Amino acid sequence: MSTLTTNAATEIVDATARLLTEHYVFPDVAEQLAVLLRRRLAEGAYDVASAAELGALVTADLQSAHGDPHLRLLCHSDATWLLHLDPAAAVPTALALHGG
């Protein structure tokens, strides 16, 4: 389990929101999701101890708001963050968010 700082969580959530608005196949949905992520961040919903917890919470929020099962934030053991977008879209299926 990796320890996650508040600054790292903020950076990851902000980058996720930015990448959604820049690349997600449905721009209006991307904007709604970005607003949701930033609101949840401000509420303290992502104040968690581990990267895995953050990934699970962000994924749950992304999927609950739109229902796209392809949209998720994953944390790999090497602390590389990936935002998986719709694989049918004309954009990469994963965009690196944060290296550690």
Q: Does residue 85 contact residue 16 with C-beta atoms inside 8 Å?
A: no
Extract the residue ranges of the chain whose pLDDT is less than 70. 1-3, 76-100
Q: Is residue 64 part of a domain?
A: yes
**65 phi-psi bin (left φ>0, alpha ψ -120 to 50, beta other):** alpha
Structure confidence at residue 57 (pLDDT): 95
Q: Is residue 1 part of a domain?
A: no
**Can you give the pTM of this predicted structure?**
0.75
Q: Is residue 85 part of a domain?
A: yes
φ/ψ of residue 8, rounded to 5: -65, -45
Report the CATH number that the domain containing residue 24 is assigned in CATH.
3.30.750
Sheet holding 94-96, edge to edge: 72-75, 81-84, 94-96
Q: 28: domain range?
A: 6-96
Quote the number of domains for the chain.
1
- Residue 36 CB coordination number (10 Å): 18
